Structure 1
């Protein structure tokens, strides 16, 4: 016994000395890597990728209509589906990064895919042999959406990795600059790139985003020796599925009356940190059976089978995800409204007077007012609305995350009503001017669209930013990146829903013909407002039943 104890102590001493050596080398390494020098390169990569992707997205529906000769419904549906794929791709990047490759390799791989897609798509707009090849055109487009979209959750996480865990101020500052980089890219694309495409042609207009995509790859590789890297920790999906499988295997067993008899082990085999604790909740009690201890849960050598026995911490993590799903599902509608900025709103603007003095304003450039609304309204919300709301409600932040998100949904409804009023006025002018049967722009200035873009932008400040805060705050600590990826997924599903509704409405009603002067786009906007009101009622019901986790 003595020799065994001495051996154990010797092993511990050896491990401690080894850890000290690692700690010393790690300290030196951290002094040479990371920080703002490394994160600045990451921010520049994000800026280049943002200009590139929005340089395609903002004017895609116009390109499909004017060059590929698609009708209004087909062009809007293709643009919405493509943007939906872009917002779905973050799940792909997040999974591969967490499970296998790590952030850097994932970003690098998908940046290369994005650049290859940019080259293919630009060639399809230049070479006559490829110009009218739908396969080659859409192959390039979807390589772009998957490549660029998959980098998004990895870039933000990789940038935050460049700072020490305890340096919360630097991390918060990085995220602010990261968001600003994305918005700068969006504004630059909406104004400069779209203007070049409309006035100097598609070849040069798409070549600039292609060059910037290549610059993003070069910039990322140039900083490889300055970055701090984190090894992938494994996918949380596996741990979640283990709870489902273990509970299913024990569905015939009865839960013990004493919750303490359920498996409570705290160890590194769980998906949570060792110092975490979790309150036992009564919802989804079937999943508690995954923590019932039985002899068959262990091998003959005493090794636990994680597909037969899970800790209550794992069970509660899965429960918290399930509680978020109804809220998540009811904010998808806002993604549908946002997707119309690059499809139906643009088509509406194309049949309005786009002249401002001697300038011919691209219809897609009106989305700049959405970005400006976000930039202006964020400080208004933080400096004015929150303090006033705090005096009234006496709650931290002035209002809850769900109240904030609900207000955002209300603004999305107001945006659709504004678009309907503008369209109704436009159709009246077309009728008065005798232009109903002519597929031409009516003498109504495109700036009448500004209110609908601004209302969507204000709604974005309430709903989208509110939902990011909500998912980050309410998600399990070890699954925040997954939940933030799910928040991005609402944009993808919203775009797909818009594409589906467009197709059904056109097939059933014919409200959106090739000549919008003969159609009833106003009724489509009113339909969306009605769907938004129904969605808001459902959201309010789900929010009233949601129970925030205890701090």
Structure 2
């Protein structure tokens, strides 16, 4: 099936099921493979961003968005509680060790996402799975926050709470973005993916602001007694439940994954092929061929996730290295030491990275992409992800330059740091810009390039790539600290010691990032070539053509009989869902 508009600037859409007829009240049905129109729904949606809040689905969209923000606040509180507990109740352990174990738990939780996506797509569906995972999440957060004051085995209680929290977090992070995007029209899904990622980071900003205020006021124990993590996740759950009666596809589950698995088994000779396997005229053959095509598309998504793996590897270690570097800089502001007396400097600097995400995403969605599209340009998936990796490399270069000046400053001042820690803001901000381009585009690619019935699995594979990157970052730290401990100090007393080589550690990360960037570009070229080959094959075997009018679809049986109809304008009515 193809969709054509008269305006030559519009893009041709192809769907794989030629027998499907679209209803006049629906947007494009989502049972097709999106691989043949890379980036188009996203670009079209830039011109109508305001529809995300003016459509009839605004209520469900906002509910899921608020739930994601509250969940992000809760997770930040839980992880902060774990790091503080580990540092307080473990002998001969530093905060860097606590952060390392935090990254281990984070990477492991993201790796669970693939399994959860499999369960959602094939067994329980998104709504039931999400409710169950929220309950697990709440139990884990209660154990996590009550462990420090417990009378029994505090460590066991903390570990069990961390496990439950990680499972709940993995599921919620996998389900909410996809479930929210499923509630809205096709031409708004790309925009929503950007906004929900912004919302998740906004939740971290909210927690950082609360932490800064608490540390400045000196009432941290009172803040911990309030149980911000438990309150946040309970509120997120209640907000999610409040939209239950408006959610669509709440019981959606599919047998497509099973069908794709069977097709692969037949193709690889693991199962006996039916007699009509090679009969090109049978519907069974067409269906199996389509399932093989879907399996190949999932493999392409896995390959493209190499950029997410690379960025998460660098992001996890770079952020920690920046924290270590901060110890050799001057954190005194108006006579107050914001690292020791008031430990808020890390929150302030990390907020620069979050601020970049919160600033860059609206600028891209509202200003840059529409301006480029009006001039006939589109920044597709792969260039955006490559650009994100480039910004990450630029951030590391800025950190290496700062480290060079920091060492000179320490030598000239007899080991006393005078260079302000706020000079780290640019490198944090540039890293946030790279994250906005790489991570968001990765989620968007995983969602829009996967047919319905496999999207939660695709999102799980995306999170799996992220989690493996985080675990790889921990492995790199272990190797470096074992063989070159002076390259990665375990505390922040860099300037007084005067003997360290953290710039070498940063250069190692930069070298790895350049290798990953070259590998990703090579993978992107291969995937793009395969997509073009697939498009050429679809052109040769295209089915009926459907032409969109303001309120109906017109059908033609061949390309020669296609009626070209003028593109209607949008009049603000919810029943007039045209492509823009």
Instruction: Give me the TM-score of the superposition, normalised by structure 2.
Output: 0.70
Greater displacement, 92-101 / 242-251: 242-251
Match of 2:93 in 1: 70
Measure how far apart 1:331 and its partner are.
3.5
CA gap of 1:110–1:470, structure 2 versus 1, over 3 A, is closer
Q: Give 2:288's match in structure 1, choosing from 311, 331, 348.
A: 311
Native 8 Å contact 1:354 1:362 kept in 2: yes
Partner Cα separation in structure 1 for residue 220 and residue 463 of structure 2: 32
Task: Supply the RMSD in Å over aligned alpha carbons.
Answer: 3.5
Partner Cα separation in structure 2 for residue 92 and residue 252 of structure 1: 28
Partner Cα separation in structure 1 for residue 256 and residue 417 of structure 2: 54
Partner Cα separation in structure 2 for residue 458 and residue 54 of structure 1: 21
Measure how far apart 1:311 and its partner are.
1.0
Q: Give 2:398's match in structure 1, choosing from 418, 422, 435.
A: 418
Please state whether the residue corresponding to 1:475 is helix, strand or coil: coil
Measure how far apart 1:322 and its partner are.
2.3
Match of 2:435 in 1: 460
Match of 2:465 in 1: 490
Native 8 Å contact 1:114 1:144 kept in 2: yes
Match of 1:376 in 2: 359
Partner Cα separation in structure 2 for residue 521 and residue 356 of structure 1: 25
Match of 1:14 in 2: none
Match of 2:118 in 1: 95
Partner Cα separation in structure 2 for residue 330 and residue 162 of structure 1: 28
Match of 1:277 in 2: none
Asked if 1:525 corresponds to 2:546, the answer is no
Measure how far apart 1:531 and its partner are.
0.7
Native 8 Å contact 2:57 2:183 kept in 1: yes
Asked if 1:234 corresponds to 2:234, the answer is no
Partner Cα separation in structure 1 for residue 373 and residue 242 of structure 2: 47
Q: Give 1:444's match in structure 2, choosing from 419, 425, 443.
A: 419
Match of 2:541 in 1: none
Q: Give 1:115's match in structure 2, choosing from 130, 138, 143.
A: 138
Partner Cα separation in structure 1 for residue 61 and residue 363 of structure 2: 28
Partner Cα separation in structure 2 for residue 395 and residue 223 of structure 1: 39
Question: Which consecutive unaligned segments of at least 5 residues does structure 2 have?
Answer: 1-55, 539-580
Native 8 Å contact 2:353 2:429 kept in 1: yes
Q: Which has the higher helix share?
A: 1
Summarize deviations over 1:163-190 as a string: whole Å, max 9, x none. 5xxx446766755653443232121012
Match of 2:127 in 1: 104
Measure how far apart 1:504 and its partner are.
0.7
Question: Which consecutive unaligned segments of at least 5 residues does structure 1 have?
Answer: 1-33, 254-258, 268-290, 292-308, 436-440
Native 8 Å contact 1:39 1:159 kept in 2: yes
Summarize deviations over 1:11-36 as a string: whole Å, max 9, x none. xxxxxxxxxxxxxxxxxxxxxxx944
Native 8 Å contact 1:336 1:498 kept in 2: yes
- Show the 5 A alignment for 1:496-515: 496-510=471-485, 511-515=487-491
Native 8 Å contact 1:125 1:202 kept in 2: no
Please state whether the residue corresponding to 2:419 is helix, strand or coil: strand
Measure how far apart 1:151 and its partner are.
1.3
Native 8 Å contact 1:90 1:151 kept in 2: no
Instruction: Give me the TM-score of the superposition, normalised by structure 1.
Output: 0.73
Partner Cα separation in structure 1 for residue 311 and residue 280 of structure 2: 41
Asked if 1:349 corresponds to 2:326, the answer is yes
Native 8 Å contact 1:334 1:409 kept in 2: yes
Measure how far apart 1:526 and its partner are.
0.8
Match of 1:45 in 2: 67
Native 8 Å contact 2:190 2:444 kept in 1: no
Summarize deviations over 1:455-481 as a string: whole Å, max 9, x none. 111112322223333334433454334
CA gap of 1:89–1:412, structure 2 versus 1, over 3 A, is same
Match of 1:11 in 2: none
Match of 2:166 in 1: 145
Match of 1:201 in 2: 220
**What is the aligned length?**
461
Partner Cα separation in structure 2 for residue 533 and residue 491 of structure 1: 18
Partner Cα separation in structure 1 for residue 174 and residue 411 of structure 2: 49
Measure how far apart 1:61 and its partner are.
4.7
Summarize deviations over 1:260-303 as a string: whole Å, max 9, x none. 94556547xxxxxxxxxxxxxxxxxxxxxxx6xxxxxxxxxxxx
Measure how far apart 1:524 and its partner are.
0.8
CA gap of 1:330–1:228, structure 2 versus 1, over 3 A, is closer
Partner Cα separation in structure 2 for residue 88 and residue 328 of structure 1: 13
Partner Cα separation in structure 2 for residue 461 and residue 364 of structure 1: 19
Match of 1:183 in 2: 201
Measure how far apart 1:507 and its partner are.
0.8
Summarize deviations over 1:377-411 as a string: whole Å, max 9, x none. 234445665477669xx8641x3321221111111
Q: Give 2:78's match in structure 1, choosing from 42, 56, 60.
A: 56
Match of 1:136 in 2: 157
Measure how far apart 1:37 and its partner are.
4.0
- Show the 5 A alignment for 1:239-318: 239-249=259-269, 261-262=278-279, 265-266=282-283, 311-318=288-295
Match of 1:336 in 2: 313
Measure how far apart 1:252 and its partner are.
12
Looking at both structures, which has the greater relative contact order when contacts are Cα pairs under 8 Å and sequence separation is at least 6? 2
